[in-house]
Amino acid sequence: MLWIALMKMLTVSKAKATFSGIARNVVRSKKPVIVRVPNGFIQIAPYELPEEVAAFPAGSLELLPRELDLHNTFGESL
């Protein structure tokens, strides 16, 4: 429970009133915020979007002989 003490904690009324500012600060500082709601707590935490992986050019990947044998068999020969 020590980690909860280190996070900023708000009431739901305060979070609703200034949500856009809180969200900007969470994203900018990369530190989550705990909001107390009537039934417990919720956490507003930053999320990093993963980098997009470029598609491989057609024909750049080759199948192994075993993969070729299993190709289009739906694994029936396993």
CA-wise closest residue to 9 among 48, 41, 53:
41
pLDDT tens digits, 14-23? 888 888 888 8
Question: Average pLDDT of the chain?
Answer: 80
pLDDT at 78: 56
Tokens of 54: 């470029």
Residues of the chain with pLDDT under 50: 1-3
* Rounded CA separation 9/44 (Å): 10
Task: State which fold the 2-70 domain adopts.
Answer: YefM-like fold (3.40.1620)
Residue length of the chain: 78
pLDDT at 54: 87
pLDDT at 38: 87
